[in-house]
Amino acid sequence: MLGDDTPTEPEIGNRSLTGRPSGFGRWLVRLALRLAHAVSANAVLAITAAVGAVLLTGFAVAGAEVYEAVTDGDGVAGLDRPVLDTAIGMRSTPVDRFLTGFTHLGGPTGMTIIASLITVLMVWRWRSRTPLMLMIMAVAGSLLITIVGKDLVGRNRPPLSDAVPPYESSPSFPSGHALNSTVIAGVVAYLLLRRLSSTLARVLTVAAALAWAISIGLSRVFLGHHWLTDVMFGWLVGLAWLSVVITAHRLYVTVRRVREARSEDASAA
């Protein structure tokens, strides 16, 4: 039977998952505890994630402003064409083939398989439902934001003449590969950090997650499947959604800890 490992793993290193040193963090805890009077800790987790998903979907809509910058050829979008031209000049058949295989790992099929295997392994090894719960929530929100962002902005990909086959035809902004890889790698890193006692191991875990997300994103630009701004926005929104997922989980842990403490005090009395 799967358990909930959060009560026994309230820290990452010396940092408590229930600690909220900032004023905003303390406000969130107070809000979550008030909410917990009416609903369960699981509901607090779901509500926090849902509110965050709505806010980030709005942020994805605001990404249309970046699209306007692209069409005007100013701002950060001015990097798009020069960066793609540089990538085209660096291509060769062996590199193109390798990166084509690599970038597929960050696609819908590749990331689904990778995320599923890692989640199943964590659930089996730790006998915990926490990896499954967080991964489902993270992936669902990530896909929602990607789909909404693409449909609302509708930006065209780089010309097929500048891309390496196989070609892709879905809207370009934001990069789903960059966004989803950032979120999934981040969730895996977060789950592992709660189990690692070595500082070096934690640093390497975070570095590996960053390297994965950055490499997948850059491979999209190199192969001409996305503009640089598509990938940059994908990283940005991915990090924002990852922050929402982690915050929701930390509030969940806090509510459980407070409820357990109150229950123990009531029993002692």
CATH 1.20.144 fits 29-268, yes or no: yes
Residue with the two structure tokens 């999209």: 220
16 backbone dihedrals φ, ψ, rounded to 5°:
-75, 135
Q: What is the pLDDT of residues 39-56, one digit of tens each?
A: 777 777 778 788 877 777
The rounded Cα 169 to chain-centroid distance in angstroms is 24
Q: Confirm if 188 and 114 have CB atoms less than 8 A apart.
A: no
Peptide bond into 94 cis (omega under 30): no
Cα gap 100→95, rounded to integer Å: 8
Mean pLDDT of 167-187: 91
User: Does the annotation count 226 as an active-site position?
Assistant: yes
Q: Which two tokens stand for residue 74?
A: 């100013």
Selecting among 37, 177, 225, 249, the annotated active-site residue is 177
pLDDT classification of 138: cutoffs 50, 70, 90 = very high
**For the chain, what are the domain ranges?**
29-268
Its pTM stands at: 0.86
Q: What is the pLDDT of residue 64?
A: 59
Q: What is the pLDDT of residues 74-83, one digit of tens each?
A: 555 678 889 9
Residue with the two structure tokens 């924002």: 240
Selecting among 37, 104, 225, 226, the annotated active-site residue is 226
Q: What is the pLDDT of residue 42?
A: 74
Cα gap 178→265, rounded to integer Å: 47
Q: What is the pLDDT of residue 77?
A: 61
Cα gap 235→205, rounded to integer Å: 18
Q: What is the pLDDT of residue 134?
A: 92
Q: Which amino acid is at 148?
A: V
Find, among 36, 91, 46, 75, the residue nearest to 254 by Cα: 36
Measured at the CA of 69, the angle between CA 170 and CA 90, to 5 degrees, comes to 65
